[in-house]
Structure 1
Amino acid sequence: MTSGRTRLLDAASKLLVAQPAHEPSTRELYEASGVAAPTLYHHFGTKEGLLDAVVEQTFGDYLQRKQGLLRTGDLIEDFGAGWDLHIEFGLTNPTLYALMYSPGRTSAAAATADAHLRAGLERMRDAGLLRVDVDTAASMTTGMAIGCVTQLNRQHGSIDDPAAEATRAALIEQLTGQPSARTTPAQAARVLLRELPKRSRVFTTAESALFGQWLLAIAEDEPTTPTPEGNRA
């Protein structure tokens, strides 16, 4: 026979899957699990305690996925893949993510996320890829990730939203000094155009003019982002 604790966890998880942006009420949890109030208080203390347990369970599943990512050997690329998965988790589980990083709330899931992040950053530091210390890099990454997820959830955005792409690229460049792997040819061309006048001794006047024309053509050839059907509120 399924225990009351398991029934409450299952009910809370199902309610959050059905309406991931809605925090279920205590009544909804009782009705969905078929248990009485004392059962919840006995196992979890409060509704928040139950939701914390769901956060731990859901985040544990997420970590298994993250650990299963193929390591490419490129630490920066692996860092970017971890960022993408973190943002995806926050967008897929907005209520749980908000609980996980709620100010003043102690979350074991958040502590675990921090530990995994630091381990990856320490590998990057040891490989000479970080231009800031690990503590600063961890604070920057977590702060930008929380801000990115919060804003995307407010705007009903997605993982491939231009704002998410730009945030990811800016973070990688600030941490490593290297452009994000997702820098487009047009973006790279614009950077080179800004640098071209500083390299006047490298090329003749004619070469600089020709190179500038090529770069300008690439810089203006930015692919347009498809407009999604319908408008998002």
Structure 2
Amino acid sequence: MISGRTRLLDAARELLTAHPELEPTTRDLYETAGVAAPTLYHHFGTKEGLLDVVVEQAFTEYLERKKGIMRSGDLVVDFAAGWDLHVAFGVDNPVLYALMYAPGRTSDAAATADELLRAGLQRMNDAGLLRIDVDTAVVMTTGMAVGCVSQLNRLRRPATDPTADAMRSALLAALTTVPSRQRGTETAATPPRAARLLIDEVAAQDAQFTAAESALFIQWLHRIADTTPTAQEAQSE
């Protein structure tokens, strides 16, 4: 026989899966579970107590998925992948995420997230990849992640929205000493993307090209990338 506690937990997950953007009411919870209101108070004290347990369960499942990601061997690439997973979890579970990071609320799930983040940033620091101290990096990363998720949820945008990529790139630029092209945050290099990346490289290799060769090469790359040369580049042509 399924216990009242389990029924309530299942009901909370069911309601939040069906409407992840809506926090269920106490009545919603005990009616969906098919139990009387005192059963909820007996097992969890309050509705918030029940939802706290659901948050912990959902976040534990999220951590299991995160652990399943194969490590690339590149700490910055792994950090970027962790950011993507975190944002996806927050967007997929807006109510649970808001409960995790509610002002003045203590959440074991949020504490666990901070511990894992700190461990990853410490590894980056030990490898000489951080430009700031670990404590500041933890605060910056958490603040930007929570802000990113909150904004995406407010605007009802997906985790794949360009805003998330832009914030991740800005964070990595502030945290790490790694040049942008080596941060592993770019998607696969299509010909236009590869051309845009090469333009700066060619411009920086003046010693290997004559002025005419460099200008012609940059002109071709701009054509592939479908961009317009800067005024300085145009003058060199």
Name the TM-score, length of structure 1 as normaliser. Answer: 0.85
- Partners of 1:41 and 1:60 lie apart in 2 by 24
- Partners of 2:100 and 2:43 lie apart in 1 by 20
Structure 1 runs not aligned, ≥5 long? 223-233
Given candidates 203, 211, 235, the residue that maps to 1:205 is 211
Per-residue CA distance 1:19-52 (angstroms, 9 max, x = gap): 1001000110010111222221122111111111
- Partners of 1:155 and 1:69 lie apart in 2 by 29
- Partners of 2:96 and 2:133 lie apart in 1 by 30
Q: Is the 8 A contact 1:186 1:221 kept in 2?
A: no
Shift of 1:219: 4.5
Shift of 1:203: 5.1
Is the partner of 1:2 in helix, strand or coil? coil
Q: Is 1:182 equivalent to 2:191 in the alignment? A: no
- Partners of 2:185 and 2:76 lie apart in 1 by 12
Is the partner of 1:148 in helix, strand or coil? helix
- Partners of 1:219 and 1:147 lie apart in 2 by 33
Q: Is 1:42 equivalent to 2:48 in the alignment? A: no
- Partners of 2:137 and 2:90 lie apart in 1 by 20
Q: Is the 8 A contact 2:91 2:158 kept in 1?
A: yes
Shift of 1:221: 5.3
- Partners of 2:98 and 2:54 lie apart in 1 by 13
Q: Is 1:91 equivalent to 2:91 in the alignment? A: yes
In structure 2, give the amino acid aligned to 1:185.
A
Q: Quick one: structure 1 residues 119 and 152, their matched pair in 2 at CA, closer, same or farther if it must change by over 3 Å?
A: same
* 1:169 matched residue in structure 2: 169
Structure 1 vs Structure 2: percent identity of aligned residues? 63
Q: Is 1:217 equivalent to 2:223 in the alignment? A: yes
Is the partner of 1:111 in helix, strand or coil? helix
What do you get for the CA RMSD once the two structures are aligned? 2.3
Per-residue CA distance 1:103-157 (angstroms, 9 max, x = gap): 1111110000000111111111111111111111111111111111111112221
- How do 1:1-233 and structure 2 match up within 5 A? 1-177=1-177, 178-179=179-180, 180-183=183-186, 184-185=193-194, 188=197, 192=200, 196=203, 204-220=210-226
In structure 1, give the amino acid aligned to 2:72.
T
In structure 1, give the amino acid aligned to 2:22.
H
Aligned length: 219
- Partners of 2:195 and 2:166 lie apart in 1 by 14
- Partners of 1:44 and 1:27 lie apart in 2 by 14
Name the TM-score, length of structure 2 as normaliser. Answer: 0.84
Is the partner of 1:128 in helix, strand or coil? coil
Is the partner of 1:69 in helix, strand or coil? coil
Is the partner of 1:130 in helix, strand or coil? coil
Q: Is the 8 A contact 1:189 1:216 kept in 2?
A: no
In structure 1, give the amino acid aligned to 2:108.
A
- Partners of 1:189 and 1:213 lie apart in 2 by 12
Shift of 1:205: 2.9
Shift of 1:200: 6.1
